[in-house]
C-alpha cells in the first residue's frame, strides 16, 4: 500500500483539530485530518454546544414561571424532556455537518478511522474498509479527553450517568446527586434542578466552582441554595450501593459519613486525556497524568509532533484548543511572530443559572504572586438594564495592580456575563490600564456599564452605589 503524503496531518477533529486543519490549508499546506467518531469532537457533539441548547430550554422554562412578574400570562407550564433532548441533538447535528462542509471547502482530506503513529512522521488509519498509511513532516495530536471515572463510581447508564447519559436522558431524575461542581457538574445540576429534580451537589474542595474567585463561589452557592439545591462542600462520595431503581451514596464530610438515597447520579469529576493506542511512548513523547507534555508552542519534544487542546493539559477549554490549533498551523507553515497562548488570558465561562465568567488571576492568586492589589466590585442591583431585565442578582469584580494599573483579573456572576467577559479579555490582550478603562464610554442602558463601574470602584470613583 502506497503511503499518502501530506504537509500536515491532524489527529482528531474537535475544536482544536479542525481549526488547525483549516488554518494549515489557508496557509497553503496540504492537510489531512483523521477522526474516529464525530466531526466537531466532544465539544460540538457532546459538550459545549448541546449542553447550551439544553440549558437554554431550562432558562426559558424558568422565565415562563416568572411570566406574572413581566405582566404576562402563561398557564399549564410544562416540558417534554424528549423534545428538549431532540432539539439539543439537532443543534449538534447541524454543526457537525457544518464542520464536514468546512473541511471540503478548505480542501482538507478527511479520514474517518482510528489513528496510530507507528513511526515518526507516519500515521496509520484503521477504517471500515481497511487501513490507510499517511506521511507528513508535521503531525498534530488533537485527540481530546474523556470523562474521568473513579473506582466504584463508574457510570452504568442507568443509575449512574456521565455527561453523555445526562445529555440523552431516558427519564427525568427525581432525586439527583451530582459529583463534582466544576463547569460540567454545575451546568447539569442547574439544568435538572430547574426542571424540578431534587438536586444535591458534592464537591471535594472547600467551595463550589473551585477555580473561580472565592467571592464568586460564595455568591454562586447562595444562589444555588436559594434555587433549592443542596450543596455539600469538603465532601467526598466514598461508595455507591446500587439497587433496583435507587443508589445509596456514602458521603463523607469532616470525617463523618452519612448515607443518602438517590435515583440518579451524575459523575463529573474531571477528565483524562485520550493518549492510549497512539504509540506515543514508543516515539519518545512524555505523558504526565494522561496528558502529553508540551512547551509553550505545543511542541512535544519529538521532532514534527505537536499536541493541542485537552490532550495537552489545562485549561480544558474549546477556545484554548482552537487558538492553539491556529498557532501550531502557523508554526508548521513557517510564519514569523507566532505567539504562544497564555493560559491566564483565556476566559472561563460556566452556563449555570446565574452564569459565571472570569479571566486572569483571582484576588487570592494575585496576592500570592506578590501583587499589591486594588479590587473593585459592582452589584447587578445598581444597574438599570439588569433591573429592567428582571435580573438584579449578580456582581462584577475587578482586580488591578495598584502600582501599574494593570488589569490582573475580572470575575462575574449574573445574567449574560459569559458574553460580557470578552470586554475584559480584549482589555487584557491590549494591556489596558485602569485609566483606559475609566475613560472608555460604555453604552447605556447595558449590563456592560457594570464593568465600567467595577473599575471605577477599584479606584474609589464608583458612581451608582
Is 180 known to sit in a ligand binding site? yes
Give the residue numbers spanning the domain of 190. Answer: 160-269
The verdict on residue 348 lying in a domain is: no
Q: Can you tell me the distance from the alpha carbon of 368 to that of 386, in angstroms, rounded to the nearest whole number?
A: 34
Q: Which of 14, 81, 21 is nearest to 54 (CA)?
A: 81
pTM of the model: 0.95
* Per-residue model confidence (pLDDT) at position 1: 62
278 lies in the same domain as 142: yes
Element (H, E) at 286: none
CATH code for position 360 = 3.30.390.30
Q: Looking at the predicted structure, is the pLDDT value of residue 180 above 90?
A: yes
Q: Which of 89, 12, 101, 100 is nearest to 49 (CA)?
A: 89
| Residues 6+ away with beta carbon under 8 Å from 234 | 203, 204, 205, 206, 253, 254
Arithmetic mean of pLDDT, 418-426? 98
The residue written with cell numbers 446527586 in the block is 177
User: How many separate domains does the chain show?
Assistant: 3
Is 235 known to sit in a ligand binding site? no
Is 439 known to sit in a ligand binding site? no
Catalytic residue among 65, 101, 339, 444: 444
175 lies in the same domain as 257: yes
Q: Looking at the predicted structure, is the pLDDT value of residue 275 above 90?
A: yes
312 lies in the same domain as 364: no
Confidence of residue 265 (pLDDT cuts 50, 70, 90): very high
Clarify whether 165 is annotated catalytic: no
* Per-residue model confidence (pLDDT) at position 26: 98
Tens digit of pLDDT for each residue in 346-394? 999 999 999 999 999 999 999 999 999 999 999 999 999 999 999 999 9
* Mean pLDDT rounded to a whole number for the chain: 96
DSSP class of residue 76 equals S
173 lies in the same domain as 310: no
Q: Cβ(114)–Cβ(104) under 8 Å?
A: no
Q: Can you tell me the distance from the alpha carbon of 13 to that of 141, in angstroms, rounded to the nearest whole number?
A: 10
Is 368 known to sit in a ligand binding site? no
* Per-residue model confidence (pLDDT) at position 176: 98
Is 190 known to sit in a ligand binding site? no
Domain endpoint, select from 269, 299, 318: 269
CATH code for position 290 = 3.50.50.60
Is 181 known to sit in a ligand binding site? yes
106 lies in the same domain as 18: yes
Tens digit of pLDDT for each residue in 142-163? 999 999 999 999 999 999 999 9
105 lies in the same domain as 125: yes
The verdict on residue 83 lying in a domain is: yes
Domain endpoint, select from 238, 253, 269: 269
143 lies in the same domain as 288: yes
Confidence of residue 2 (pLDDT cuts 50, 70, 90): confident
84 lies in the same domain as 199: no
Q: Cβ(54)–Cβ(109) under 8 Å?
A: no
10 lies in the same domain as 134: yes
103 lies in the same domain as 185: no
Is 255 known to sit in a ligand binding site? no
85 — alpha (psi -120 to 50), left (phi > 0) or beta?
Answer: alpha
Amino acid at each position: 500500500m502506497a503511503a499518502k503524503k501530506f504537509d500536515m496531518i491532524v489527529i482528531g477533529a474537535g475544536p482544536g483539530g479542525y481549526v488547525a486543519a483549516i488554518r494549515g490549508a489557508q496557509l497553503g499546506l496540504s492537510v489531512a485530518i483523521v477522526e474516529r467518531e464525530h466531526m466537531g469532537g466532544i465539544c460540538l457533539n457532546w459538550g459545549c454546544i448541546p449542553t447550551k441548547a439544553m440549558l437554554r430550554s431550562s432558562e426559558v422554562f424558568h422565565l415562563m414561571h416568572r411570566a406574572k412578574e413581566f405582566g404576562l400570562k402563561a398557564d399549564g407550564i410544562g416540558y417534554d424532556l424528549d423534545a428538549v433532548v431532540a432539539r439539543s441533538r439537532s443543534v449538534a447535528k447541524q454543526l457537525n455537518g457544518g464542520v464536514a462542509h468546512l473541511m471540503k471547502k478548505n480542501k482538507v482530506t478527511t479520514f474517518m478511522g482510528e489513528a496510530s503513529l507507528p513511526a515518526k512522521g507516519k500515521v496509520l488509519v484503521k477504517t471500515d474498509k481497511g487501513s490507510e498509511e499517511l506521511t507528513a513532516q508535521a503531525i498534530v495530536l488533537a485527540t481530546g479527553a474523556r470523562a474521568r471515572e473513579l473506582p466504584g463510581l463508574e457510570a452504568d447508564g442507568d443509575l449512574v450517568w456521565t455527561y453523555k447519559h445526562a445529555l440523552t436522558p431516558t427519564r427525568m431524575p427525581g432525586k439527583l446527586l451530582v459529583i463534582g461542581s466544576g463547569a460540567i457538574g454545575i451546568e447539569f445540576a442547574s439544568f435538572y434542578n430547574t426542571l424540578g429534580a431534587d438536586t444535591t451537589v458534592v464537591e471535594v474542595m472547600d467551595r463550589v466552582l473551585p477555580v473561580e474567585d472565592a467571592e464568586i463561589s460564595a455568591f454562586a452557592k447562595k444562589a444555588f441554595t436559594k434555587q433549592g439545591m443542596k450543596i455539600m462542600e469538603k465532601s467526598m462520595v466514598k461508595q455507591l450501593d446500587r439497587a433496583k431503581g435507587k443508589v445509596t451514596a456514602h458521603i463523607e464530610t469532616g470525617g463523618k459519613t452519612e448515607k443518602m438515597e438517590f435515583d440518579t447520579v451524575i459523575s463529573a469529576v474531571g477528565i483524562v486525556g485520550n493518549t492510549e493506542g497512539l504509540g506515543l511512548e514508543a516515539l519518545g513523547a512524555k505523558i504526565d497524568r494522561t496528558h502529553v507534555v508540551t512547551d509553550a508552542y505545543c511542541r512535544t519534544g519529538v521532532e514534527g509532533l505537536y499536541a493541542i487542546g485537552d490532550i495537552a493539559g489545562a485549561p480544558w477549554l474549546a477556545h484554548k484548543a482552537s487558538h492553539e490549533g491556529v498557532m501550531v498551523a502557523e508554526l508548521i507553515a513557517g510564519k514569523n511572530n507566532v505567539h504562544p497562548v497564555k493560559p491566564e488570558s483565556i476566559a472561563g465561562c460556566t452556563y449555570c443559572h446565574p452564569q459565571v465568567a472570569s479571566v486572569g488571576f483571582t484576588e487570592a492568586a494575585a496576592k500570592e504572586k506578590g501583587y499589591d492589589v486594588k479590587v473593585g466590585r459592582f452589584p447587578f442591583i445598581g444597574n438599570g438594564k439588569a433591573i429592567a431585565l428582571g435580573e438584579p442578582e449578580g456582581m462584577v469584580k475587578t482586580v488591578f495592580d495598584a502600582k501599574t494599573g494593570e488589569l490582573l483579573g475580572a470575575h462575574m456572576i449574573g445574567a449574560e456575563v459569559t458574553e460580557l467577559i470578552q470586554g475584559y479579555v480584549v482589555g487584557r490582550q491590549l494591556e489596558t490600564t485602569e485609566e483606559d478603562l475609566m475613560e472608555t464610554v460604555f453604552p447605556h442602558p447595558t449590563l456592560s456599564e457594570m464593568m465600567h463601574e467595577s473599575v471605577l470602584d477599584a479606584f474609589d470613583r464608583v458612581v451608582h452605589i
